[in-house]
Amino acid sequence: MTSAFRIPVHDADAGGSEVPLPEFSRDWALFLDVDGTLVELAEHPRAVHVEPPLIQQLGRLQRLAGGAVALVSGRSVIELDRLFTPLHLAIAGQHGAEIRHANGKTDLDRPRTAAAAAARRALAALAESQAGLYFEDKGVALAVHYRRAPQLGPLVERTLSEVARQSRGEFVMQTGKMVRELVPHGKSKGGAIAAFMREPPFAGRLPVFLGDDVTDEGGFAVVSQLSGHAIKVGTGNSAALYRVAGVRSVRRWLGAFADWLEKHAH
């Protein structure tokens, strides 16, 4: 049976086609990407602002879902805490290189090698040499954003690809929307979701993951392998079975899920 909750594939197209989303269930574990999923993409990472209604909505979901709600993002845990204060959610930050478990314990894979230091220097030098680039040192993952200078995308990709090669496997390059990142080898959003699913309060539940970017595809693969639901936000090829139009659709859907959980709480 499909869910009665349906949303348009294209928000701007009042006559757009609609697709059924999975039927709500009390045994879901909810995993949410942030940029492009919960909040609109911004020209600069620091320009993103999270409105109080979204924070209240996530807090309500966390309570109704027995704590089985986690953010899965390229941002660091400290940055996500800043955005979503006063919430204290389980978080997979920096594409899974940093995990704060539901019990508050934090795992951080922080490479302290010559290759990591060399990568930081190379990316900082690239950003300083080209107007419009922004180097973001997240603590583990290293990113160069070029949304303000799209023409520099090929240069950014070549540079990070070469730096990853010189790291001799310590880093891999990840592709995002107007950003390229170096992430420790073996770390991914999919791996983080799999780790959460082995521990309370997520264990024994059905994983549901919403994401908008190429970096979310690994998460989609993991939840599909676990018989969960992968939901792609926006356009573009994806392995996700389900799709919603954008941030506004995500928020409506989360609100409907919270209402459903409250109605079926007993």
Token digits of residue 102: 């539901």
What is the rounded (10 degree) CA torsion for 152, 158, 163, 168?
160
Nearest to 183 by CA among 238, 233, 145, 137: 137
Q: Give the CB-side neighbour count of residue 266, counting CA atoms within 13 A.
A: 0
| Cα-Cα-Cα-Cα dihedral sign, residues 6, 10, 14, 16 | negative
- CA distances from residue 65 to 59, 85, 160, 230, 247 in whole angstroms, order as listed: 10, 19, 40, 18, 21
Instruction: Annotate 121-187 with three-state secondary structure.
Output: HHHHHHHHHCCCCEEEECCCCEEEECCCCHHHHHHHHHHHHHHHHHCCCCEEEEEECCEEEEEECCC
Kindly tell me the number of DSSP H helices and DSSP E strands found in the chain: 7, 14
Q: Which of 13, 33, 107, 212 is catalytic?
A: 33
- 107 catalytic residue (yes or no): no
Say how many Å lie between the first and final Cα of the chain, rounded.
22
| Distant-in-sequence, close-in-space partners of 1: CB < 8 Å, separation ≥ 6 | 23
Burial classification of residue 48, based on how many CB atoms lie within 10 Å of its CB (0-12 exposed, 13-18 middle, 19 or more buried): middle
| Active-site residue list | 33
